[in-house]
Chains A and B, each alone.
Chain A
Amino acid sequence: MDIGTTVAAILTLAIYSFLYRDNPFYKVAEHLLLGVSVGYFLVTTIVTTIMPKLFIPVFANGELSYLVPGILGALMFLRFSRKLSPYSRIPLALIIGVGSGVAIPAYMQAQLIAQLKTTMLPLDDISNIIIIAAVVSVLMYFYFSREHKGLTGAGAKAGMYFLMVFFGSTFGYTVMARVSLLIGRMQFLLGDWLGIIK
């Protein structure tokens, strides 16, 4: 057993100690996690992005075109100045503009058209009937221009039940995921650390 495993095991127990009550061990472990995560992200970003995508091309290779995104990125920091903060909107406008231009057609194609296509099914199968009934009734549930009475009300109510089934299955999966995390930690504590299980 190496020292890293023991440190990780002690930190795991420190985090789990919160289940009894809030305590200094938990606080230390929590702050350590935050600090290490932010530090790691910062170093990774500098080493893998800022250095090869800005400093090396500009200062080592003399490729000055890389200065343009560099300056735009630097303009973002002007948000901290009251006087100069309007200039920070220039890169933001560019990000939003380009981002929307790229994202909207992609979303339309992948999410809307492809998903609509899958809903246009022949009514010769019970699964297809359920899918179509669920889509139509959920859409009726979110249709607010008419009072939910009569046929609209019945449709909306059916939509609500379909939504509940969705929420229930999502919550079931969430519980499963949380239990999996606990199993992973127990396998680590009992196996990797204490060697009780293989």
Chain B
Amino acid sequence: MSVNETLQKRQHIRRIVFILMALSVILPLIFKIGLPLKTTKEVRDVFEFIDSLPEGSAVVFSFDHDTATLPEMIPLAEALLRHSFRKNLRVLGLALLAEGAAIGDDNFRRIGNEFGKVYGEDYIFWGFRPQVTVAMLGLGEDISRVFPSDYYGKDVQSYPVMEGIDSYDDIAGVISIADGDMPVHWINYAQARYGVNVIPAVTAVMATTMYPFLQSGQIAGLAAGLRGAAEYEMLLGKPGRAARGMDAQSSAHLLIIGLIIAGNVLMIIERRRK
């Protein structure tokens, strides 16, 4: 077989794999299987942390991600926001990545409206700040110096929701919705220095980076990826988009396992032939 023929054959195999992968995701989305979904301790810890907060406690949502990871980040943000609004907590928001500002504001408005919450009274979105270190340390001293005005340019302290909230001392926890290592910065600058509770809600890729902090007790819990969001939806008793995607997730994983086994078997057969 010539080099050209080999390359063409490989290209065909790649396309077959892509088609199989698409089918393994699409079919379970259309024809629901309903595989069981168990909750893990780390997600339950996040749930219990928010659930244990008294009404009126303040939680900060930091949207530390961009648009590329929205399918993982939005279900996590929605589930945690729903829980916070349901518990009548004061929900404060910010973004440490520019794209997170529009995403965060949209989520706050959408989920806030679901629960009949009023902007400025029940929740507020401060907006975007660059230079994460300065922003995180500044929030520990005086929030209004870091965010003198909110996302809409109005004086932050003029909103009733901000009454009695000046620094981390008045905040029950910071939930970092992140697709990178921003929760590690929150741990370094907010948790270690000011003792504020940090809860990472991260992409699955970042889960292994977060586990050492979970074990050391530096984070109050961990919700990672679509699976984390699905578990949270189950705990809320309101299965949503993430929970509905779990069948597709499982079938895609089974396909990948099958492909790995098939690839290795074929490789062994080919080696023996030679």
Query: Would you call B245 and A180 a contact (CB within 8 A)?
Result: yes
Query: Would you call B216 and A180 a contact (CB within 8 A)?
Result: no
A190 contacts across to B, CB distance below 8 A: 26, 29-30
Within 8 A of B (CB), among A34-84: 37, 40-41, 44-45, 48-49, 52
**A91 CB → nearest B CB, Å:** 13
Query: Would you call A187 and B225 a contact (CB within 8 A)?
Result: no
**Residue in contact with A186 in the complex, picked from B25, B127, B193, CB distance below 8 Å:** B25
A60–B212 CA distance with the chains assembled, in angstroms: 49
Q: A110-B187, A110-B192 are in contact. Are A41 and B98 (CB under 8 A)?
A: yes
Q: Give 29 pairs: A residue, B residue, CB < 8 Å, sorted on A.
A: A41-B99, A44-B101, A44-B128, A45-B98, A102-B133, A102-B137, A109-B188, A109-B193, A110-B192, A118-B216, A118-B217, A166-B208, A169-B208, A173-B207, A174-B205, A176-B227, A177-B204, A179-B249, A179-B253, A180-B203, A180-B227, A183-B245, A183-B248, A183-B252, A184-B72, A184-B245, A186-B25, A187-B71, A187-B241
Residue of A nearest to B224 (CB): A173
A182–B21 CA distance with the chains assembled, in angstroms: 9
Cβ of B148 < 8 Å from any Cβ of A?
yes
Q: A118-B216, A173-B224 are in contact. Are A44 and B71 (CB under 8 A)?
A: no
Cβ of B117 < 8 Å from any Cβ of A?
no
Interface residues on B, range: 35 or more
Interface of A, helix, strand, loop or mixed by DSSP: helix
**Residue in contact with A99 in the complex, picked from B127, B133, B252, CB distance below 8 Å:** B133
Cβ of A157 < 8 Å from any Cβ of B?
no
A109–B195 CA distance with the chains assembled, in angstroms: 12
Interface residues on A, range: 35 or more
* Contacts A99-B133, A106-B192, A187-B245 known; 15 new A-B pairs at CB < 8 A: A37-B66, A48-B129, A110-B192, A110-B218, A111-B188, A118-B212, A173-B208, A177-B205, A181-B72, A184-B245, A185-B71, A186-B26, A186-B29, A187-B29, A190-B30
A48–B126 CA distance with the chains assembled, in angstroms: 10
Cβ of A107 < 8 Å from any Cβ of B?
yes
Cβ of A94 < 8 Å from any Cβ of B?
no
Q: A180-B249, A181-B69 are in contact. Are A170 and B208 (CB under 8 A)?
A: yes
B30 contacts across to A, CB distance below 8 A: 190, 196-197
A174–B249 CA distance with the chains assembled, in angstroms: 13
Of the listed residues B69, B191, B192, the one surrounded by the most CB atoms of chain A closer than 10 A to its CB is B192
Q: Which 8 A-B pairs have the closest CB atoms?
A: A184-B71, A110-B192, A180-B226, A177-B204, A118-B216, A44-B98, A106-B188, A183-B245
Cβ of B263 < 8 Å from any Cβ of A?
no
Residue of A nearest to B248 (CB): A183
Q: Mark A157-193, 1 if CB is under 8 A from B, else 0.
A: 0000000001001100111110111111111101000
B21 contacts across to A, CB distance below 8 A: 182
Residue of A nearest to B71 (CB): A184
A185–B21 CA distance with the chains assembled, in angstroms: 13
Query: Would you call B216 and A114 a contact (CB within 8 A)?
Result: yes
B252 contacts across to A, CB distance below 8 A: 179, 182-183
A111 contacts across to B, CB distance below 8 A: 188
A163–B248 CA distance with the chains assembled, in angstroms: 30
Cβ of B164 < 8 Å from any Cβ of A?
no
Cβ of B15 < 8 Å from any Cβ of A?
yes
**A174 CB → nearest B CB, Å:** 5
B129 contacts across to A, CB distance below 8 A: 48-49
Query: Would you call A174 and B204 a contact (CB within 8 A)?
Result: yes
Query: Would you call B253 and A110 a contact (CB within 8 A)?
Result: no
A185 contacts across to B, CB distance below 8 A: 71
A196 contacts across to B, CB distance below 8 A: 30
Within 8 A of A (CB), among B195-225: 203-205, 207-208, 212, 215-218, 224-225
